[in-house]
Amino acid sequence: MADENRARPVISSEGMKKLEEELNFYKTVRRREIAEQIKQAISFGDLSENAEYDEAKNEQARIEEHINYVENTIRMAVIIDTADISTEIVSVGSIVVIRDVKSGDTFEYKIVGETEADPLDGKISNESPVGRALIGQRRGETVTMPVPDGLRTLQISDIKKS
């Protein structure tokens, strides 16, 4: 089975709650909405040339695929307990304060699993280039990683819990 060979997603308890809420929304609200759209499209008659029906069925397939994805993510997820997060070493769940060695700019990121990543909200995936470079590092250490215009060196200023 393919799921057994897939890496298990890492997620916080807060992220798990959001996934469960999303799943509930898709199973109740979105399924009901698409069923109504299909019913309305059927009322237009001839299904062989009914664009509304075709689009509604395609949307139904997308919804069911998303439900399946979220269910599998929930089933496979490893939930990170904030009590297990160290402030000595960067791990999933850590809040990391880093300084760009070249520019001197300081950034604060929370390292999260891929399903929770939201760079605009300061949450970067442990599987992103920056996340991968930071995981396992300690306060004061520097990491260098390739970026489109060369190399970027970051120094870890602080590691905190959320």
Structure tokens at 37: 């759209």
Query: Domains (ranges, CATH) in the chain?
Result: 2-80 (1.10.287.180), 83-160 (3.10.50.30)
Q: DSSP secondary structure string, 54-75? A: HHHHHHHHHHHHHHHHHHHHHH
Measured in residues, the chain has a length of 162
Question: Residue 119 corresponds to which tokens in the numbers above?
Answer: 């760079």
Q: Which pLDDT tens digit goes with each residue over 100-129?
A: 999 999 999 999 998 899 999 999 999 998
Compute the distance between CA of residue 73 and CA of residue 107 in angstroms, rounded to an integer. 29
Residues 67, 26 contacting (CB under 8 angstroms)? yes
Alpha helices per DSSP H over 77-162: 129-134
Quick one: which of 4, 132, 21, 125 has its CA closest to 76?
4
How far CA 107 is from CA of 13, 119, 134, 138, in Å, comes to 24, 11, 13, 16
pLDDT tens figures, 73-99: 999 998 988 787 889 999 999 999 999
What's the DSSP call for residue 138?
A: B
* pLDDT tens track for 16-71: 999 999 999 999 999 999 999 999 888 877 777 778 888 999 999 999 999 999 99
Percent of the chain with pLDDT over 70: 96
CB proximity list for 62: less than 8 A, separation 6 or greater = none
Which H or E element spans position 8? none
**In what helix (H) or strand (E) does residue 19 lie, and over which residues does it extend?**
helix 13-25
Per-residue pLDDT tens digits for 137-155: 999 999 998 888 888 999 9
